Amino acid sequence: MSKSLVLKNICKSFGSLMAVDNVSLTVEPGEFICFLGPSGCGKTTLLRIITGFEFQTSGDISFGEKNLNNVIPQKRDFGIVFQSYALFPNMTVQQNIAFGLKMRKMPQNLIDKRVDEMLELMGLSEWKIHYPSQLSGGQQQRVALARAIAIKPNVLLLDEPLSALDAKIRVRLRAVIKRLQQDLGITMIYVTHDQEEALSMADRVVVMRDGQLRQVGSPWDIYKKPRTSFIAEFVGTSNFFAGQKNGDRVDYGKFSFEVTDMDNVEGEKIYLAIRPEDIEIVGRTIASDDCIPSNIVDVQADLITFLGAVVSITVNFEGQELLVDIAQKEFAKQPIAEKETIHLYFPPETFHVYSEIFKKLI
């Protein structure tokens, strides 16, 4: 029977440092969860508490009906994949994958069958008699994955497993891990500081900061509806500027922008955030007839940066740098030259409105 992993009011302190602060979360069977956050936010400590390598200062952790508070890692039946691979250098690929099965005293014929299944699944069959030193980083990480999955763990925990690899290999292995998770129906918890990794793989993303869960939701919700200015900045890129609330408008310099959904924001001074790709270019990505005139501004294109699928335009807006992204296909139809004046449109519904701003942005 499928079981949920439940964390309830988990706290972990190291002296005066509160590394994990009152975290409650339910991970459903077969769910792919990503813990996402900057270095020092508590995500790895939380993962170590789930594995049993660390014990919480307070709170409860359970899997199904079983309380895991004092259960050692070996008794939790969770698979673990580390950033460092942690392969045995004196064992072949085949022997590394078989290790956990031997520790569980599985009959040899079943071990051989299971190892062959894993080798096939990971595309490692021709490497089975090789040693880790003879493999690339990506192949070594596949072996580590195969070894963790071979024991058919209740939950698979991955601690920044791709961070030591080259960018292209990371993207390929992301797809491998996601496909494995879907095919096997296994519950996965994946720790990363890479927002692209989290958004591309997870069913739900758990954004952490200062030991706390700041937002939990689908990748779409985290990106499109960031609850705080920190999340708007950390997940993706946002342009920020401060303004004065004036009814359903926000005054910024000589401009007065129409902004939707300001009902939940208190105070007169507020902060607006807008994604670079949400800013339209009048006459290129949007017709002037479709624009609210007060939300159009004239600026000069200071820098044009080609980024492959996207062209990024840097402009100076009321004394601060603003980024505008346009699809390369759109840009190719009507190129923009540096120092050219362009008309930007800020759609009212694309603003995110906050009563505070992430302190590191200032």
3-state secondary structure of 205: strand
pLDDT of residue 357: 84
CB 85 within 8 A of CB 104: no
CB burial of residue 343 (10 Å; 0-12, 13-18, 19+): middle
Pairing of strands 280-281, 269-274: unpaired
Residues 6+ apart with CB under 8 A from 251: 243, 244
List pLDDT tens digits, range 277-297: 999 999 999 999 999 999 999
| Residue boundaries of the structural domains of the chain | 5-230, 231-361
Rounded Cα–Cα distance for residues 335 and 61 (Å): 56
Same fold, 5-230 and 231-361: no
pLDDT of residue 322: 95
> Fold for domain 231-361?
OB fold (Dihydrolipoamide Acetyltransferase, E2P) (2.40.50)
CB 300 within 8 A of CB 315: yes
**What string of pLDDT tens digits covers the 362 residues of the chain?**
579 999 999 999 999 999 999 999 999 999 999 999 999 999 999 999 999 999 999 999 999 999 999 999 989 989 988 888 789 999 999 999 999 999 889 999 999 999 999 999 888 999 999 999 999 988 998 899 999 999 889 899 999 988 878 888 888 889 888 988 998 899 999 999 999 999 999 999 999 999 999 999 999 999 999 999 999 999 999 999 999 998 889 999 899 999 998 877 777 899 999 999 999 999 999 999 999 999 999 999 999 999 999 999 999 998 889 999 999 999 999 999 999 999 999 999 999 999 888 765 43
The CATH number given to 5-230 is 3.40.50.300
pLDDT of residue 359: 63
3-state secondary structure of 306: strand
pLDDT of residue 362: 39
3-state secondary structure of 126: helix
Residues 6+ apart with CB under 8 A from 70: 55
Q: Which stretch of DSSP H or E encloses residue 321?
A: strand 320-327
Long-range CB pairs of 285-289 (<8 Å, 24+ gap) are 285/326, 285/330, 286/345, 288/343
Say which residue the tokens 């300001």 belong to. Answer: 262
Taking alpha carbons only, the member of 187, 191, 192 closest to residue 48 is 191
pLDDT of residue 266: 74
